[in-house]
């Protein structure tokens, strides 16, 4: 499948998001770029605090004070998302892009039935009679593999199990037939067997509808299973980006390599000692100068602690931001200055 | 080898009562008839999904929950009804959520030193300070950290404090209750390696509880798999992985994501239907029969027996 044949849906350029806290400015997202094409599943991997969710919230226009987009652009099919009026944004959310969240219990309203909430989502975006909205809701519940959808429509969120609730969330996300689904750690709160069910379901739905998915997770195993392209984030920056095979078999950034080496694998033949990434995550209030990963990196050079590395193209749609990939790092840095 | 055995659990049960009406009592059967033993210096891993009773079992072994029935034999002594204080020096626990299990109002020095005071392990004040500092260094923290409060540390460091606290009494046996689940991937491996180093240096014995099969398989010599309060399979970790006997173990293994796109996309996955039944009224017979792809009529009627099906490889299933 040649990705260039698909339509470019989302174009993010040099996006900056900051939180202005009493303790100072936290640059949660510090200049990220990526494109999303239709029918693509893009994984965004990173540890807690790497800015992977914040970036998704920025796309959806869900950033809350004190968070603010401080620079860059987000374009959806050529239209500037950041310049949307609140009305445009409302129709953009749901119709074009929808989002499902990590914890399905906190995202569903406990005092309304599942049916009520699904119908509300339909009616918000389409002016259609209620019985049609209901039919649409039932159709969606069937699509996400819920038995007796008519019955379930009358139930409240607490009557469903965690896996069921996540299915309902997915149904709600799909109800207006969006072009992009942003899934923010959709399986993290679930057990492995349920996680497997949800991943299978998302794969099926993706094939069926052809929509693009941005899959945010910290679990590289899940990424290996579902994603076509992967962006690895660290301290608000994309440190490496490429297709799934490149990231797993030809990682270029020491952080990606470190993540892959530090994970125990269930299929390891013999007990091998894990190779951890030393040190602690970055303090986002006082990030180190230069490469954010520098202080923890085993290959750290002098320049890494002084100046931020550029994005280097290392293959077809494969980029990494690391000074190691620059032949003459000192010269490059001097030129950049 | 009875001399090698540190802990034995026989027919352990733990029910939690819940009131449903004025006089009606119902029970959550959190742990139902579990048998296991742990040898000195080994790590027994316990896996299962949430609500399968693995944490309850771990706590019942330490008698943080009083067992409803059954026996706990530690080092040849039946401790099911003993006074626990002397045994607390030998048996310790590391909790899942490091921020919730450390008192926010106590300094790190107080947290780690509390057990030293209770068991009167220090001769005088300076000895106590020295011990605390040594423990902090041992878990990769700084000795100056003893005057700080838990919130000043990151999640990984907090977990190190929790481990230092468990080590303070120089225990033989530690229940590690999901010690790395709340941590980021890059920090997880640091803690896992540290636990392994401590074991080889001090000859510790672990009961390692986690829902992440990859971590459990990595650290454990033997693995026990639990489902809805029952132990369904127990064996050497490689045996359990390569020749999983119980259908539940097989599905669990096939559901674990492998960080390798070629492997994970090629393998056949058994996707279970449905959800875990409520432990308040578990299914009759084999508790797994409602979701088991191989269930036969006998499974609904008869509780399968816990049998040794291969050397040191136990399972409870009718079809085996």
Query: Quick one: pLDDT band at residue B2, thresholds 50, 70, 90?
Result: very low
Q: What does DSSP say about strands A237-243 and A67-76: parallel, antiparallel, or unpaired?
A: unpaired
Q: Split chain A (337 residues) into runs of 10 and give each run's mean pLDDT.
A: 67 95 91 93 91 92 91 94 91 91 85 93 86 92 89 91 88 90 90 88 91 94 94 95 95 93 86 87 87 92 91 92 85 73
CA distance A192 to B108: 35
How many other CB atoms are found less than 10 A from the CB of residue B25? 10
Residue B123 CB contacts under 8 Å (≥ 6 apart), including other chains: none
Task: Classify strands A67-76 and A79-80 as parallel, antiparallel or unpaired.
Answer: antiparallel
Residues B262 and B166 in one domain: no
**Domain closes at, from B170, B196, B231:** B170
What's the rounded Cα separation, in Å, for the pair A299 and A302? 10
Tokens of B106: 């106590």
* Integer Cα distance of A260 and A250 in angstroms: 11
- Verify whether the Cβ–Cβ distance A280 to B154 is below 8 Å: yes
User: Does residue B194 sit within a domain?
Assistant: no
Question: Which of A78, A57, A79 has its CA nearest to residue A68?
Answer: A57
In this structure, are B84 and B210 located in the same domain? yes
Q: CB A263 to CB B184 under 8 A? A: no
Helix (H) or strand (E) holding B71: strand B69-74
Residues of chain A in contact with residue B256, where contact means CB-CB under 8 angstroms, are 192, 221, 266
| Cα A39-A42-A44 angle, rounded to 5 deg | 165
The tokens for B104 are 């926010």
Is the Cβ of A260 closer than 8 Å to some Cβ of chain B?
yes
Residue of A nearest to B154 (CA): A280
| In-domain check, residue B191 | no
pLDDT of residue A256: 94
- Write out chain A residues lying below 8 Å of B263, CB-based: 224, 267
B50 within a domain of the structure (yes/no)? yes
Strands A318-321 and A237-243 come out as: antiparallel
Tell me if A96 sits within 8 A of A165, measured CB to CB: no
> What DSSP string describes A172-227?
HHHTT--SEEEEESTTTTS-HHHHHHHHHHHHHHHHHH--EEEEEES-HHHHHHH-
From chain B residues 250-289, the ones with a CB under 8 A of any chain A CB are 251-265, 269, 271-272, 275-276
CATH assignment at residue B284 = 3.40.50.300
| Interchain CB contact of A200 with B (< 8 Å) | yes
Domain regions of chain A by residue span:
3-96+178-266+273-281, 110-176
- Confidence at residue A5, expressed as pLDDT on a 0 to 100 scale: 54
**Cα separations (Å) of B43 from A127, A185, B1?**
61, 31, 17
Q: How high is the pLDDT of residue B65?
A: 92
List pLDDT tens digits, range B73-113: 999 999 999 999 999 999 999 998 888 899 999 999 999 99
Q: Is the CB of residue A100 less than 8 Å from the CB of residue A120?
A: no
Q: What burial letters (b/e) apply to A133-165, b meaning 16+ CB within 10 Å?
A: bbebbbebbebbbbeebeebbeeebeebbbbbb
DSSP one-letter code for A41 = E
Contact B154 A224 (CB under 8 A): no
Establish if A105 touches chain B: CB-CB under 8 angstroms. Answer: no
Q: How far is the alpha carbon of A186 from chain B, nearest alpha carbon, in Å?
A: 14
Picking from A181, A173, A172, the residue whose alpha carbon sits closest to that of residue A226 is A181
Query: A166-207, pLDDT tens digit by residue?
Result: 999 999 998 888 999 999 999 888 888 888 889 999 999 999
Asked if residue B109 and residue B80 are part of one domain, the reply reads no
Residue B243 forms contact with A (CB below 8 Å): no
In chain B, which residues have their Cβ closer than 8 Å to the Cβ of A195?
Answer: 255, 257
At residue B226, the pLDDT reads: 95
DSSP string, A258-322: HHHHHS--TT-SS-----PPPS----TTSPPSS-TTGGG-TT--TGGGTSPPPEEEEETTEEEE-
**What is the least distance, in Å, from the CA of A335 to any CA of chain B?**
34
Q: Which of B:166-185 have CB within 8 Å of A?
A: 184-185
Contact B272 A258 (CB under 8 A): no
Asked if residue B39 and residue B180 are part of one domain, the reply reads yes
Which residue from A minimizes the CA distance to B271?
Answer: A197
Which H or E element spans position A132?
Answer: helix A130-143
Q: Are B177 and B280 found together in one domain?
A: yes
pLDDT computed for residue A2 by the predictor: 43
B252 vs A contacts (CB less than 8 Å): 192-193
DSSP string, B236-280: EHHHHHHT--SHHHHHHHHHS--S-HHHHHHS---PPPS-PPPTT
The answer to whether residues B84 and B163 belong to one domain is no
Asked, for residue B119, whether it belongs to a domain, the answer is yes
Closest residue in A to B212 (Cα–Cα):
A192
Looking at CA atoms only, how far is residue B270 from chain A in angstroms? 9
State phi, psi for B195 to the nearest 5 degrees: -60, -40
Q: Are B47 and B211 in contact (CB under 8 A)?
A: yes
The whole domain housing B132 covers: 99-170
Q: What is the nearest CA distance from B39 to chain A, expressed in angstroms? A: 19
What is the overall mean pLDDT for chain B?
A: 91
Other C-beta atoms closer than 10 Å to the C-beta of B19 total 9
Co-location of B252 and B308 in the same domain: yes
Find the residue in A nearest to B260 (Cα). Answer: A224
| Euclidean distance between CA atoms A142 and A175, whole angstroms | 12
Is B195 within the bounds of a domain? Answer: no
Q: Specify burial of residue B227 (Cβ count, 10 A radius: 0-12, 13-18, 19+).
A: buried
| Residue A197 to residue B156, Cβ atoms within 8 A | no
Say how far apart CA A231 and CA B82 lie, in whole Å: 56
Looking at residue B3, its pLDDT comes to 59
Chain A residues with CB inside 8 Å of B188's CB?
A: 262
**What integer pLDDT is reported at residue B104 of this predicted model?**
94
Contact (CB<8Å) B214/A200: no
Which CATH number applies to A3-96+178-266+273-281: 3.40.50.300, 3.80.10.10, 3.20.20.150, 3.30.590.10?
3.40.50.300
Residues A247/A42, Cβ–Cβ less than 8 Å: no
- Say yes or no: A17 contacts chain B, CB-CB below 8 A: no
Residue B198 lies in a domain: no
First-to-last C-alpha distance (Å) of chain B: 27
3-state helix, strand, coil in chain A (%, to 5): 40, 25, 35
In chain A, residues with a C-beta closer than 8 Å to the C-beta of B156 are: 280
- Strand B77-78 and strand B43-47: the pairing is unpaired
Q: Which of A277, A230, A279, A268 is nearest to A251 (CA)?
A: A230
**pLDDT given for residue B63 in this prediction:** 94
Q: How far is CA B234 from the centre of its chain?
A: 14
Predicted confidence at residue A337, as pLDDT, reads 66
**How far is A262 from A255, CA to CA, in rounded Å?**
10
Q: What is the pLDDT of residue A192?
A: 87
Is the pLDDT at B1 greater than 60, yes or no?
no
In three-state form (DSSP H/G/I as H, E/B as E, the rest C), the secondary structure along B127-169 is HHHHHHHHHHHHCCCCHHHHHCCHHHCCHHHHHHHHHHHHHCC
- Mean pLDDT in residue range B221-239: 94
- Nearest-neighbour CA in chain A from B86: distance (Å): 35
The C-alpha atoms of residue A285 and residue A28 are separated, in whole angstroms, by 9
Nearest CB neighbour to A276, from listed B189, B251, B253: B189
Contact status, residue A304 vs residue A323, Cβ threshold 8 Å? yes
* Cα Rg of chain A, angstroms: 21
Both B79 and B130 in a single domain?
Answer: no
Contact B275 A194 (CB under 8 A): yes
Asked if residue B193 is part of any domain, the answer here is no
- Counted across chains A and B, CB pairs separated by less than 8 A come out at 132
**Beta carbons of B82 and B91 less than 8 angstroms apart:** no
- What integer pLDDT is reported at residue A291 of this predicted model? 92
pTM of the model: 0.88
Q: Are residues B108 and B146 in the same domain?
A: yes
Q: How many domains does chain B have?
A: 2
Kindly state whether residues B215 and B291 are assigned to the same domain. yes
pLDDT tens, A237-291? 999 999 999 999 999 999 999 999 988 888 888 888 899 898 888 888 888 899 9
Query: Is residue B22 scored above 80 in pLDDT?
Result: no
Instruction: Strand B77-78: give its sheet, edge to edge.
Output: B25-39, B5-19, B69-74, B77-78
């Amino acid at each position: 499948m040649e990705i260039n044949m698909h339509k470019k849906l989302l174009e993010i350029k040099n996006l900056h998001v900051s939180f202005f806290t009493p303790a100072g400015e936290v640059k949660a997202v510090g200049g990220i770029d990526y494109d999303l094409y239709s029918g693509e599943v893009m994984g965004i991997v990173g540890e807690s605090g790497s800015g992977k969710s914040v970036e998704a919230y920025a796309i959806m226009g869900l950033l809350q004070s004190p968070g603010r987009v401080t620079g860059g652009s987000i374009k959806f099919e050529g239209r500037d998302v950041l310049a949307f009026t609140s009305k445009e944004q409302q129709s953009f959310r749901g119709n074009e892009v929808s989002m499902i969240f990590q914890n399905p219990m906190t995202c569903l309203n406990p005092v309304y039935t599942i049916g009520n909430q699904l119908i509300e989502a339909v009616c918000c975006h389409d002016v259609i009679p209620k019985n049609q909205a209901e039919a649409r809701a039932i159709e969606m519940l069937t699509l996400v593999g819920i038995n007796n959808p008519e019955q379930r429509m009358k139930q409240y969120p607490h009557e469903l199990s965690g896996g069921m609730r996540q299915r309902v969330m997915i149904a709600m996300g799909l109800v207006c037939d969006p072009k992009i689904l942003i899934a923010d750690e959709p399986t993290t709160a679930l057990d492995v067997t349920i996680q497997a069910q949800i991943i299978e379901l998302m794969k099926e739905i993706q094939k069926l509808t052809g929509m693009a998915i941005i899959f945010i997770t910290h679990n590289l195993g899940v990424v290996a299973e579902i994603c076509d392209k992967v962006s690895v984030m660290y301290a608000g920056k994309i440190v490496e980006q490429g297709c799934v095979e490149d990231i797993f078999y030809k990682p270029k950034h020491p952080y990606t390599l470190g993540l892959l080496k530090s994970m125990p694998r269930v299929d390891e033949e013999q007990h091998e000692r894990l190779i951890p990434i030393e040190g602690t995550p970055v303090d986002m209030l006082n990030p180190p100068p230069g490469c954010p990963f520098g202080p923890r990196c085993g290959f750290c050079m002098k320049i890494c602690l002084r100046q931020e590395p550029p994005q280097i193209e290392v293959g077809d749609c494969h980029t990494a931001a690391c000074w190691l990939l620059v032949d003459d790092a000192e010269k490059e840095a001097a030129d950049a200055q | 080898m009875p001399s090698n055995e540190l802990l034995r659990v026989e027919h352990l049960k733990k029910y939690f009562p819940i009131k449903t009406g004025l006089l009606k009592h119902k029970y959550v059967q959190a742990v139902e008839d579990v048998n296991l033993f742990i040898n000195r210096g080994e790590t027994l891993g316990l896996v299962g999904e949430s609500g399968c009773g693995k944490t309850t079992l771990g706590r019942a072994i330490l008698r943080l929950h009083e067992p409803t029935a059954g026996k706990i034999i530690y080092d040849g002594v039946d401790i099911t009804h003993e006074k626990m204080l002397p045994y607390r020096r030998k048996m310790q626990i590391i909790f899942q959520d490091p921020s919730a299990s450390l008192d926010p109002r106590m300094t790190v020095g107080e947290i780690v030193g509390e057990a030293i005071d209770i068991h009167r392990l220090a001769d005088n004040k300076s000895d106590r300070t020295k011990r605390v500092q040594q423990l902090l260094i041992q878990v990769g923290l700084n000795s100056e950290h003893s005057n700080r409060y838990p919130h000043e540390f990151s999640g990984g460091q907090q977990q190190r404090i929790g481990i230092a606290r468990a080590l303070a009494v120089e225990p033989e046996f530690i229940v590690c209750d999901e010690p790395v689940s709340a941590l980021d991937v890059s920090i997880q491996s640091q803690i896992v390696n540290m636990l392994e180093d401590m074991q080889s240096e001090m000859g510790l014995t672990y009961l390692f509880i986690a829902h992440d099969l990859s971590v459990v398989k990595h650290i454990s010599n033997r693995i026990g798999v639990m489902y809805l309060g029952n132990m369904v399979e127990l064996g050497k970790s490689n045996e359990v992985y390569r020749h999983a006997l119980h259908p539940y173990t097989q599905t669990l293994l096939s559901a674990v994501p492998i960080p390798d796109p070629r492997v994970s996309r090629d393998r056949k996955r058994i996707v279970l239907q449905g959800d875990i039944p409520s432990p308040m009224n578990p299914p009759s017979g084999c508790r797994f029969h409602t979701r088991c792809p191989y269930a036969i009529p006998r499974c609904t009627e008869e509780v399968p027996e816990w049998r040794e099906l291969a050397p040191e490889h136990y399972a409870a299933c009718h079809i085996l």
